[in-house]
């Protein structure tokens, strides 16, 4: 656990405005900075950064927090990982809690940094070869022929792996990099007959592959036409050669383009999944910078989970051929398991995203994206459109949809999908269709050797957002807002107001802020937001901290003095109902002594003789934190 002092020190050292500015274009707005929110799609800037107070707030989606919260939300990091990242940024070391564990961490981290440095050096070498090598222009001609601009190629750091056997080997040796490190990351291969190494990538257009943190961890090399002096009888190599898996690179955990597109994915709320390297680069250039691509593999569980950190909805944009249709089907299982909603864009036969954009333009692709059917609808239509020759084929195709519909959570959606299956296959007996779907589900389970119910085949339990409380008493919000605006925590009015708060969420804000005042002498917005990040009122809190409504202490105290009698009245009415319920329960239980005790308390309350009981700590009874919006709304 990282000490509070270290967290506060990091918060003070890291420039929030500079950090956010690496992801969001900020413009000056009074004492603050504003820009388009990186966490949701918006056209008018509602995202504000307050460098002096050390926190950000979006008035559009309600996101608030400090440097830790920003990095965790945007990069999908845990708090310890975010703290390490910020510590490295600030050039400080976090206190060591477990020396042995810390030593191992530093050892692993040092090796990772050494390997990343080798890969980065190789990326720079490949880029320089575009101009320095006589054949480097051949790589540039390939991307230009596909309509990729030099600016886009530079942003993706495309390069050229030189013709020959040891161009990169010699470069790395001259720069002092270890051959064993270059081998570990798949840049060089040991010679079989003699000592030494040779280049894995030779005469290829190079695509550097970054992880979600932006570190280059691998390469994908596309074969180029043979050099002019190459022997004509030589057999060409594979069209693409990719880095092997190693310490930095696990292809099933990497999505090409995610780092480049992560901000746009968060802003738009959805991502495009395509397949090829050129498809990905063309989509980013063509107005779809929220695109990603798996690296030479079908979409994996890890990739789907990674993507879900940034978006809850995806558009599948695969080639319009049999392989593309198969990719949609396999992607459905993975996305459903991860709780990611999906739609499917169908391209004409023989087309891929790259060629479609060049021939039809962004507007036409955008129309298809907007009209894209859900993946279940697509799979139903696809099953009814391919390979249906007779009744047997039709029955088999319907059965194949059983496992698909079993993953749909909503029973209403399932019913509509069953009816769609019946219509698309031209069958009027919906019950017969339903039975065939069940048979297909049973067959799938038998093929997998499963017995009984399999949760993976039941309707998907998609992750649901917590139910957000949307109503709070205006009186409670108004009084708490005044205390926040004017820092009135030590005033008698504030203390009495705190005793009368009934909302658990607002009580938590008051209690946390009061504790910070006692411990640190005041309330710092970043620290308060960090401790209350799970509080359902945090959106209101962030907005109030960002835009205080009161600047005059006399006026603020008057507002508090007006709120307190209203809350006392509400508390008294609620306590009366609570006591009456208690009396009834005691009588039913035969506890006459308890019933008499409560009757005396009720009489005292009715006479107005006891204000002391107007505390939310009374009897430790949490039920006194009632919710009543009838008198003042929300």
Tens of pLDDT, residue by residue over 50-103, are 999 999 999 998 899 999 999 998 887 888 889 988 998 888 888 766 677 767
551: pLDDT confidence band, cut at 50, 70 and 90?
A: confident
What is the distance between the alpha carbons of residues 264 and 248, in angstroms, rounded to a whole number?
25
CA 407 vs CA 195, 337, 376, 446: distances in Å: 55, 8, 10, 17
* Bridge partners of residue 219, in order along the sequence: 208
3-state SS, one letter per residue, for 578-592: HHHHHHHHHHHCCCH
Does 96 reside within a domain? Answer: no
- The CATH number of whichever domain residue 301 belongs to comes to 3.40.1360.10
Does 433 reside within a domain? Answer: yes
What is the distance between the alpha carbons of residues 473 and 477, in angstroms, rounded to a whole number?
6
Q: Provide the residue range defining the domain that includes 287.
A: 253-372
Residue 150 CA neighbour count, 13 Å, CB half: 6
571: pLDDT confidence band, cut at 50, 70 and 90?
A: confident
User: At 527, phi and psi to the nearest 5?
Assistant: -65, -40
Q: What is the pLDDT of residue 41?
A: 75
Given its phi and psi angles, is residue 199 left (phi above 0), alpha (psi -120 to 50 degrees) or beta? beta
Q: Are residues 242 and 292 in the same domain?
A: no
Q: What is the pLDDT of residue 233?
A: 55
**Per-residue pLDDT at 634 exceeds 60:** no
CB 622 within 8 A of CB 574: no
Least confident of 81-85, 149-153, 274-278, 369-373: 81-85
What pLDDT digit, counting tens, does each position of 489-522 carry?
Answer: 988 998 999 888 888 889 999 999 999 888 888 8
- The CATH number of whichever domain residue 561 belongs to comes to 1.10.860
More confident residue, 31 or 169: 169
- DSSP classification of residue 157: T
What is the distance between the alpha carbons of residues 528 and 539, in angstroms, rounded to a whole number?
13
Residue 412 CA neighbour count, 13 Å, CB half: 0
Given its phi and psi angles, is residue 215 left (phi above 0), alpha (psi -120 to 50 degrees) or beta? beta
Q: Are residues 118 and 153 in the same domain?
A: yes
Domain boundary among 343, 372, 401: 372
215: pLDDT confidence band, cut at 50, 70 and 90?
A: very high
Q: Are residues 244 and 280 in the same domain?
A: no
234: pLDDT confidence band, cut at 50, 70 and 90?
A: low
Domain boundary among 344, 372, 400: 372
Longest dimension (CA), the chain: 107
- The CATH number of whichever domain residue 67 belongs to comes to 3.90.580.10
235: pLDDT confidence band, cut at 50, 70 and 90?
A: low
Instruction: Give the 3-state secondary structure of residue 505.
Output: helix
What is the distance between the alpha carbons of residues 417 and 139, in angstroms, rounded to a whole number?
48
CB 135 within 8 A of CB 160: yes
Q: What is the pLDDT of residue 553?
A: 87
Q: Are residues 490 and 598 in the same domain?
A: yes
Instruction: Give the 3-state secondary structure of residue 147.
Output: coil
More confident residue, 414 or 309: 414
Q: Are residues 486 and 596 in the same domain?
A: yes
Task: Provide the percentage of residues in the chain whose pLDDT is more than 90.
Answer: 48
Q: Are residues 479 and 620 in the same domain?
A: yes
What is the distance between the alpha carbons of residues 209 and 122, in angstroms, rounded to a whole number?
12
What pLDDT digit, counting tens, does each position of 355-414 carry?
Answer: 999 999 999 999 999 999 999 999 999 999 887 888 999 999 999 999 999 988 888 999
Does 468 reside within a domain? Answer: no
Q: What is the pLDDT of residue 568?
A: 85
Q: What is the pLDDT of residue 454?
A: 40
Least confident of 387-391, 476-480, 611-615: 611-615
Does 479 reside within a domain? Answer: yes
CB 513 within 8 A of CB 489: yes
- pTM for the complete prediction? 0.67
Domain boundary among 457, 489, 512: 457
Q: What is the pLDDT of residue 509?
A: 92
**Per-residue pLDDT at 453 exceeds 90:** no
Q: Are residues 216 and 264 in the same domain?
A: no
The count of structural domains within the chain is 5
**Per-residue pLDDT at 152 exceeds 80:** yes
Q: Are residues 479 and 609 in the same domain?
A: yes
Q: Are residues 508 and 593 in the same domain?
A: yes
**Per-residue pLDDT at 477 exceeds 50:** yes
Q: What is the pLDDT of residue 232?
A: 65
Instruction: Give the 3-state secondary structure of residue 255.
Output: strand
Does 443 reside within a domain? Answer: yes
Give the mean model confidence (pLDDT) for residues 168-193. 95
Token duo for residue 357: 């954009």
**Per-residue pLDDT at 260 exceeds 90:** yes
Residue among 374, 373, 627, 608 nearest 502 (CA): 627
Q: What is the pLDDT of residue 452?
A: 43
Q: Are residues 609 and 493 in the same domain?
A: yes
Residue among 452, 383, 464 nearest 424 (CA): 383
For 10-20, give one letter per residue: b (16+ CB within 10 A) or e: bbeebebeebb
What pLDDT digit, counting tens, does each position of 415-445 carry?
Answer: 999 999 999 999 999 999 999 999 988 888 8
Q: Are residues 222 and 263 in the same domain?
A: no
Terminal Cα distance for the chain, rounded: 39
CA 292 vs CA 151, 191, 194, 422, 498: distances in Å: 19, 35, 41, 35, 50
Does 346 reside within a domain? Answer: yes
What is the distance between the alpha carbons of residues 478 and 563, in angstroms, rounded to a whole number?
8
Q: What is the pLDDT of residue 459?
A: 34
Does 513 reside within a domain? Answer: yes
14: pLDDT confidence band, cut at 50, 70 and 90?
A: very high
Q: Are residues 484 and 619 in the same domain?
A: yes
617: pLDDT confidence band, cut at 50, 70 and 90?
A: very low
User: At 45, phi and psi to the nearest 5?
Assistant: -65, 125
Give the mean model confidence (pLDDT) for residues 265-291. 94
Does 381 reside within a domain? Answer: no
What mean pLDDT value characterizes the chain? 86
Which of 94-103, 141-150, 301-310 is predicted most confidently? 141-150
Residue among 51, 28, 25 nearest 38 (CA): 25
What is the distance between the alpha carbons of residues 51 and 418, in angstroms, rounded to a whole number?
55
More confident residue, 616 or 605: 605
Q: What is the pLDDT of residue 96?
A: 64
Q: What is the pLDDT of residue 626?
A: 25
């Amino acid at each position: 656990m990282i000490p509070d002092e270290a967290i506060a020190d990091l918060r003070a050292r890291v420039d929030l405005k500079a950090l956010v500015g690496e992801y969001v274009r900020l413009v000056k707005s009074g004492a603050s900075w504003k820009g388009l929110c990186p966490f949701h799609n918006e056209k008018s800037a509602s995202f504000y950064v307050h460098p002096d107070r050390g926190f950000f707030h979006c008035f559009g989606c309600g996101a608030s927090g400090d440097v830790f919260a920003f990095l965790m939300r945007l990069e999908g990091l845990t708090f310890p990982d975010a703290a390490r990242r910020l510590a490295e940024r600030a050039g400080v070391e976090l206190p060591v809690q477990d020396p042995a564990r810390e030593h191992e961490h530093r050892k692993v981290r040092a090796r990772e940094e050494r390997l990343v440095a080798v890969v980065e050096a190789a990326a720079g070498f490949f880029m320089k070869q575009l101009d320095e090598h006589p054949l480097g222009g051949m790589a540039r001609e390939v991307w230009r022929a596909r309509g990729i601009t030099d600016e886009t190629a530079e942003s993706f750091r495309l390069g050229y792996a030189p013709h020959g056997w040891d161009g990169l080997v010699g470069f790395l040796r001259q720069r002092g990099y270890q051959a064993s490190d270059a081998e570990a990351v798949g840049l060089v291969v040991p010679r079989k007959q003699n000592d030494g190494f040779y280049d894995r990538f030779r005469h290829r257009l190079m695509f550097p592959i970054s992880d979600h943190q932006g570190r280059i961890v691998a390469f994908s090399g596309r074969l180029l036409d043979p050099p002019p002096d190459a022997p004509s009888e030589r057999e060409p190599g594979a069209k693409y050669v990719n880095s092997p898996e190693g310490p930095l690179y696990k292809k099933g955990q990497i999505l090409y383009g995610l780092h480049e597109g992560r901000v746009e994915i968060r802003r738009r709320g959805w991502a495009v999944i395509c397949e090829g390297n050129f498809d990905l680069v063309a989509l980013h250039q063509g107005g779809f910078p929220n695109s990603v691509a798996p690296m030479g593999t079908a979409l994996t569980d890890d990739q789907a989970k990674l993507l879900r950190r940034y978006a809850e909805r995806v558009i599948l944009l695969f080639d319009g051929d049999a392989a593309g249709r198969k990719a949609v089907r396999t992607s459905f299982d993975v996305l459903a398991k991860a709780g990611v909603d999906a739609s499917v864009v169908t391209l004409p036969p023989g087309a891929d995203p790259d060629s479609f954009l060049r021939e039809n333009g962004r507007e036409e692709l955008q129309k298809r994206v907007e009209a894209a059917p859900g993946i279940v609808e697509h799979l139903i239509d696809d099953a009814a459109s391919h390979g249906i020759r007779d009744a047997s084929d039709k029955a088999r195709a319907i059965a194949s949809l059983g496992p698909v519909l079993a993953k749909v959570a909503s029973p209403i959606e399932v019913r509509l999908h069953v009816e769609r299956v019946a219509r698309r296959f031209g069958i009027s007996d919906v019950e017969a269709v339903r039975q065939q779907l069940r048979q297909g589900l049973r067959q799938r389970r038998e093929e997998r050797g499963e017995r009984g119910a399999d949760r993976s085949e039941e309707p998907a339990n998609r992750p649901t957002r917590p139910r957000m409380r949307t109503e709070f008493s205006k009186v409670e919000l108004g009084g708490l807002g005044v205390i926040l605006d004017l820092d009135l925590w030590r005033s008698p009015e504030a203390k009495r107001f705190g005793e009368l708060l009934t909302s658990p969420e607002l009580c938590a804000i008051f209690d946390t802020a009061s504790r910070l005042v006692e411990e640190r002498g005041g309330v710092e917005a970043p620290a308060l937001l960090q401790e209350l990040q799970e509080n359902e009122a945090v959106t209101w809190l962030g907005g109030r901290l960002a835009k205080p409504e009161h600047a005059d202490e006399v006026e603020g105290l008057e507002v508090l003095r007006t709120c307190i009698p209203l809350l006392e009245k509400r508390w008294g009415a609620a306590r009366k109902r609570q006591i009456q319920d208690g009396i009834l329960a005691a009588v039913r239980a035969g506890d006459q002594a308890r019933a008499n005790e409560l009757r005396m308390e009720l009489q005292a309350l009715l006479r107005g003789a006891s204000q002391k009981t107007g505390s939310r700590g009374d009897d430790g009874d949490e039920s006194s934190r009632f919710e009543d919006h009838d008198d003042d709304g929300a």
